[in-house]
Amino acid sequence: MRLILSLLTLLIAGCDLIPRSHLERVEDSGELRVLTRYSATTYYEGPHGPTGIEYDLAAGFAEFLGVKLKIRVPDNLANILSDIQNGSADLAAAGLTMTDARASLFNFGPVYQRITPQLVYREGSPPPKNLDVLRGSLEVVAESSHAERLHALKGEYPDLSFQESRELESEQLLNLVWEQVIDYTVADSNEVAINRRFYPELRVAFDISVPEPLAWAFPPGEDRSLVEKAEEYFAGLRASGRLDRLLDRYYTYVADFDYVGTRRYMKHIEQRLPLYRNWFEEAAQQTGEDWRLLAAIGYQESHWDPGAVSPTGVRGIMMLTQNTMQHLGIDGSRHDAEASIEGGARYFSSVKNRIPGRIREPDRTWMALAAYNVGYGHLEDARVLAQDDGANPDSWTDVKKYLPLLTQKKWYSKTRYGYARGHEPVRYVENIRSYYDILVWQSEREHPPAPSSPALTIQSPAL
């Protein structure tokens, strides 16, 4: 009997020695451990919760696997790379460029975006023509693909010199260029596009390489089971069009950079907004909206000018009709800034409450803004056109493609409310999104939010 028990013990022990694949370990643990970094192009805490393109992709992958997403943000890029190399996490979703040197250290998933590294300087200094004639300090993130590329270029440009920072991220280096603490940095084209709204004097001197691929990094080794699952996941995103819609959601609205308009807006934040900020904050408390969103609406409508009048007769900071003010039960002239802001906030909130509850944020807010501008009926017409065409009527990225069709008889003849200047609400929403982002950035510089927890575990939402 003892012999049989001993054999059974050895057999059971032998079963434990059979290695499980990376995918099986993730499934058994019930969580996907993801490393990322804080930036506008990766992951951050937004007004509606965690957001960022890398966050959305990772959350979708966790849902695809049927596990929870666990996010961790190491102190710097070097730690992200070392933690993945030693297997301390399942993958890094951090806007990583897939270089030849990195490909020898990690397994990489499929390419999901291409970016171009660019040399950035501040307007006012002479734009450099090449890397041999830099007149000042150049600083990049340590162990980044930018540092790797610059090291490779030293053979071609022997006078090239630069510093590598282990303390600062790319967005912080862009800020230092803008503040004229350093003269140059190298940043990815998507980061430059987003951050020029906050630092409008930043300029691109030239590209330092051809477009490069971004991909997730996985621990090295022959076990590619989780990588193969990621390949399956991304293939589904591409086939369904969801990857293109996600990229469009984060980048399309920042593509048309307007230096003059942005500079004027920053000036108005300093000079005009303080006159009305308290009223925007009070209206936000009454309606449950973000005061910065209400202020962004007000700026789009009137540039915070209480005496503004449009050719169609709407007036005031929030550009309301007299009928709207009366319907809302608000006393006072439309040129009364406090009354106008209260009326605009209540009207926007009432429009938003009409948006179907199943539509998630931030799409719910973007659609409410479109309806605030063009009318709820026309928004519904565009959603019907989207649905009839096989698109998603609950996605702003889809619906905004159908709003402009309301100018064409071929399309508006099929709708309930008919013709509308459908290009206007699209531009209206995109402008307010940029104004809002800048206000969020500005207000958080004044009062930085409390540091986030180093690890965040959530049930993954649908992509």
- Catalytically active residues are 301
Per this entry, what is the length of the chain? Answer: 463
CA distance 287 to 1: 76
Amino acid at 193: A
Positive or negative: CA dihedral 367, 368, 373, 377: positive
Do β-strands 139-141 and 163-165 pair in parallel, antiparallel, or remain unpaired?
parallel
Q: How far is CA 60 from the centre of its chain?
A: 15
Handedness of CA 441, 445, 449, 450 (dihedral sign): positive
The 3-state secondary structure of 115-126 reads ECEEEEEEECEC
Q: Is 95 left (phi over 0), alpha (psi -120 to 50) or beta?
A: left
278 and 294 Cβ atoms separated by less than 8 Å: no
C-alpha span between 304 and 457 (Å, rounded): 41
